[in-house]
Amino acid sequence: MGVFNVAIAGATGNVGREMLSILEERNFPVGELHLLASERSAGSRVEFRGQELVVKDLATFDFTGVQVGLFSPGGSVSAVHAPRAAAAGCVVVDNTSYFRMDPDIPLVVPEVNAHAIADYKKKGIISNPNCSTIQMVVALKPIHDAATIKRVVVSTYQSVSGAGKAAMDELLEQTRAFYLPGRDIPPKKFTKPIAFNLIPQIDSFLENGYTKEEMKMVNETHKILDPNIKVTATTVRVPVFNAHSESVTIETERPLSPEEARAILARAPGVEVVDDPATLTYITPREAAGRDATFVSRIRRDFTVEHGLQMWVVSDNLRKGAALNAVQIAEVLIRDHLS
Ligand code: NAP
Ligand code: 3JM
């Protein structure tokens, strides 16, 4: 396999910077690397493999000769520039929600539906799912294969890094100000103070009473895993810097004991089971941050239904929830389609 010219749009952001680390760590066969952002940070310098690269303005960048685009510049920006890159022959892996439900654009988690990547040919764009969906479907897939999931009830505990770098600063500054009487840092990225608090709203509200983030989990799970699974979600922002946690309640058609589920999950790709109540062994977001796996703990029976399971699922939202999943998609793309 040769090398591929790569562009990262949104390279100065939380997801973009993680993309750079992951390309480096996984030794992705990068030829030329173009770092793109808004005109605000054009001209700034970012290091890759020990070399300083100058950030360029996405708005004026010509994608001719670039084979792979890793995009996370926000939905309205991808809406304009992902099709423009695709028209120049660059296959885009887009991290925003903008194209996810387009029937001609595959929505991919490689452990679950890598086969869908072949559909990139329709529009030259592949969508990366929402962070909360990705880690949930990685853990649901092996259980669905074994016992057919009928219904899922999920509540999330989502870290602030998922809302961008300014949101991380907001948590840090509000936390510091908490100890300095008279210094109040009003919310900007969030609707309410996030330090020493939690907020049961992520993204905007829809007419059905759910938030967009909640409906992303419902609709994206249908598209990636199975439209027959009933899903209801409550998504909550918590004062954690990195890694999302989820309480997932599952009802299956066939019986599956917690012991069987634990064994199935232990051999599932991308999953690490961390589960032994006797030794207080379970995962927390601080332990999952910076790691690649989707961690599953607290696997137990839900006694309120005939065939029910409960589990606790944690993963680094900037890695498996965004940049790592996108790079894994790009790895399959170059191996199976562009080589
Ligand atoms: P962030 O830390 O705020 O970074 C935003 C990035 O987008 C920066 O590089 C910024 O460049 C760039 N940008 C903003 N406006 C732009 C424009 N008009 N033209 C070109 N570049 C522009 O946010 P983030 O956490 O990295 O998230 C970025 C996007 O990725 C989100 O909006 C979301 O759609 C998506 N996302 C997806 C997931 C997922 O689950 N798949 C998770 C998190 C985020 P400057 O430095 O020039 O401002
Ligand atoms: C995660 O364009 C925007 O306003 C970005 C909003 C956003 C999204 C999204 O809808 O693309 C912020 C954080 C996501 C996402 O992954 O769905």
Taking only the tens place, the pLDDT of each residue in 196-234 is 999 999 999 999 999 999 999 999 999 999 999 999 999
The number of domains in the chain is: 2
Q: Hey, which bits of 255-307 come out as E strands?
A: 271-273, 294-301
User: Residue 283 C-alpha to ligand 2 middle, in angstroms?
Assistant: 26
pLDDT reported for residue 262: 98
Q: Which residues of 112-151 are buried (b: 16+ CB within 10 A; e: fewer)?
A: bbbebbebbeebbbbbbbbbbbbbbbbbbbbbbebbebbe
Asked if pLDDT for residue 304 goes beyond 90, the answer is yes
The verdict on 195 and 254 lying in the same domain is: yes
- The residue-averaged pLDDT of 55-62 equals 98
Which ligand does the CA of 216 lie closest to?
2
pLDDT reported for residue 180: 83
The verdict on 89 and 48 lying in the same domain is: yes
User: How far apart are alpha carbons 90 and 82 in whole angstroms?
Assistant: 9
- 131 counts as catalytic: yes
The CATH number of whichever domain residue 115 belongs to comes to 3.40.50.720
User: Is the CB of residue 159 less than 8 Å from the CB of residue 236?
Assistant: no
The verdict on 137 and 125 lying in the same domain is: no
The verdict on 278 and 164 lying in the same domain is: yes
The verdict on 156 and 120 lying in the same domain is: no
pLDDT reported for residue 220: 99
The verdict on 329 and 310 lying in the same domain is: no
* pLDDT tens-digit series, residues 309-326: 999 999 999 999 999 999
The verdict on 286 and 301 lying in the same domain is: yes
The verdict on 124 and 141 lying in the same domain is: no
Helix, coil or strand: residue 158 = strand
Which ligand does the CA of 325 lie closest to?
1
The verdict on 124 and 136 lying in the same domain is: no
State whether the beta carbon of 189 lies less than 6 angstroms from ligand 1: no
The verdict on 136 and 281 lying in the same domain is: yes
Q: What is the largest CA-CA distance in the chain?
A: 61
State whether the beta carbon of 74 lies less than 6 angstroms from ligand 1: yes
User: Residue 251 C-alpha to ligand 1 middle, in angstroms?
Assistant: 36
Closest among 249, 223, 228, 263 to 109, alpha carbons compared: 223
Q: Residue 223 corresponds to which amino acid? A: K
- The residue-averaged pLDDT of 90-112 equals 98
The verdict on 163 and 281 lying in the same domain is: yes
The verdict on 121 and 150 lying in the same domain is: no
Q: Write out the residue range of the structural domain in which residue 305 sits.
A: 132-316
User: How far apart are alpha carbons 215 and 222 in whole angstroms?
Assistant: 11
Helix, coil or strand: residue 199 = strand
The CATH number of whichever domain residue 285 belongs to comes to 3.30.360.10
User: Residue 188 C-alpha to ligand 2 middle, in angstroms?
Assistant: 16
- 144 counts as catalytic: no
